[in-house]
């Protein structure tokens, strides 16, 4: 998933219309807006009772942001869990799913990074891979850089999809979207569970932190997309304390040398089917992180001290900030909470949207919610916080 920048604040300074539509397929990640179009990706239909997504199918929709009309739609032979990236009038997506090809490769069916024309939807280039391409790539100096389910990171020429560099790390990335800060890329992988800092120019390892040396049964590091603030990179991981229960941890590193600065045990929860730990968000030196344990934490990014807690109920989503004054977050059941920055609730609203593991998208006048049940709901901000 892509979170809108190093701190994961997802705000687009445009105005939209207000509308609701159902595109049927599960929307796992937030959309992207480019010009007068909103690009939305789907991953086939989710069984809302079991939470399973078994269809090897995905779609890319181009939707008019004024009225919600579908302008065009592309269909692809695998699920799409990357937030669309727009570069030089190309929309770049990744194909992949959470199934395992074997013990070391995640992703079955056709896996690829693909660029289409942002105006027409016509495919420009297609780079196929052995493992899934579920993490959202980053764009750096004309390259598309991805970490994937085959235990590798690679860079493609953004104009033609040709391979620029490729490095094999030996542990797979599920949904930990690479974080680009300067010329360094940060992401987490599984089996072994390692957090990486690599050079975006050539893939050379700058530093890494191997969690698997603890001997614990781990998870989540390959799910959580890291965030950055003032020389500190923050991510999350889980420790399985039984076959059904896990503990969720928030952890911070010195971004330059990989020294662990602090970690926080956020409590226990049942192990979910897919994503175990959502990405953190950082705003004005405070880390906001919700977890399957159902508590939203506000944490000092420098020392890891908890500032306040708010009970949301189980969620895999992360917060967004509105007008520098309000926090928005959805629970797993679709309840949208509006909080002040001090953690005091302004209101809660039950929405028809069942969110996936990503941000709400905030514009100048609207909040855009997308759901695993296929619903896109664009509502006015004033309905949540007043004029």
Listed in order, strand segments (DSSP E) in 5-122 are 11-12, 19-22, 32-34, 37-42, 58-64, 70-76, 85-87, 90-95, 111-117
CA dist., res. 130 & res. 4, Å (int): 27
- Structural domains of the chain sorted by starting position, each given as residue range(s) with its CATH number in brackets: 11-385 (2.130.10.10)
Angstrom distance (rounded) from CA 347 to CA 296: 15
pLDDT of residue 5: 74
Rounded-to-integer distance, Cα 295 and Cα 209, Å: 27
Q: Is the pTM of this model over 0.85?
A: yes
Predicted confidence at residue 4, as pLDDT, reads 60
Q: How far apart are CA 283 and CA 107, in angstroms?
A: 34
pLDDT along the chain (387 residues), means of 10: 68 96 94 97 84 86 98 98 97 96 94 99 98 97 98 98 98 96 98 98 98 92 96 97 95 98 95 86 95 91 98 86 92 94 96 88 96 96 86
pLDDT given for residue 1 in this prediction: 47
Residue 225: partners with Cβ closer than 8 Å, 6 or more residues away? 1, 2, 3, 8, 135, 136, 175, 176, 177, 179, 187, 235, 279
| Phi, psi for 151 (deg, rounded to 5) | 75, 25
């Amino acid at each position: 998933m892509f979170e809108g920048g190093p701190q994961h604040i997802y705000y687009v300074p445009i105005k939209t219309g207000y509308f609701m539509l159902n595109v049927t397929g599960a929307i796992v990640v937030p959309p992207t807006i480019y010009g007068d179009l909103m690009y939305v990706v789907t991953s086939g239909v989710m069984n809302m009772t079991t939470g399973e997504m078994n269809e090897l199918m995905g779609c890319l929709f181009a939707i008019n942001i004024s009225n919600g009309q579908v302008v065009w739609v592309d269909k692809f032979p695998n699920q799409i869990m990357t937030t669309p990236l727009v570069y030089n009038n190309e929309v770049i997506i990744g194909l992949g799913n959470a199934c395992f090809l074997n013990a070391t490769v995640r992703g079955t069916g056709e896996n690829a990074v693909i660029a289409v024309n942002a105006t027409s939807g016509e495919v420009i280039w297609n780079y196929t891979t052995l493992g899934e391409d579920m993490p959202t790539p980053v764009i750096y100096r004309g390259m598309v850089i991805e970490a994937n389910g085959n235990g590798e990171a690679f860079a493609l020429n953004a104009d033609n999809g040709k391979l620029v560099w490729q490095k094999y790390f030996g542990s797979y990335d599920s949904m930990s979207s690479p974080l680009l800060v300067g010329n360094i890329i940060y992401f987490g992988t599984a089996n072994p569970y390692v957090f990486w800092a690599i050079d975006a120019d050539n893939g050379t390892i700058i530093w890494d932190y191997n969690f698997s040396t603890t001997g614990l049964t781990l998870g989540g590091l390959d799910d959580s997309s890291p965030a950055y603030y003032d020389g500190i990179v923050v991510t999350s991981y889980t420790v399985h304390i039984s076959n059904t229960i896990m503990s969720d941890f928030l952890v911070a590193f010195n971004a330059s040398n990989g020294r662990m600065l602090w970690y926080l045990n956020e409590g226990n929860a049942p192990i979910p089917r897919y994503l175990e730990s959502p990405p953190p968000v950082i705003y004005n030196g405070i880390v906001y992180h919700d977890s399957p344990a159902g508590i939203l934490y506000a944490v000092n990014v420098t020392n890891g001290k908890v500032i306040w807690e708010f009970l949301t109920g189980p969620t895999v989503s992360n917060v967004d900030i509105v007008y520098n004054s309000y926090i928005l977050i959805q629970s797993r059941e679709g309840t949208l909470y509006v909080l002040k920055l001090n953690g005091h609730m302004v209101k809660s609203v039950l929405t028809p949207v069942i969110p996936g593991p990503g941000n709400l998208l905030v514009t100048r006048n609207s909040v855009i919610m997308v759901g695993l049940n296929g619903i896109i709901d664009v509502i006015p901000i004033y309905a949540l916080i007043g004029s």
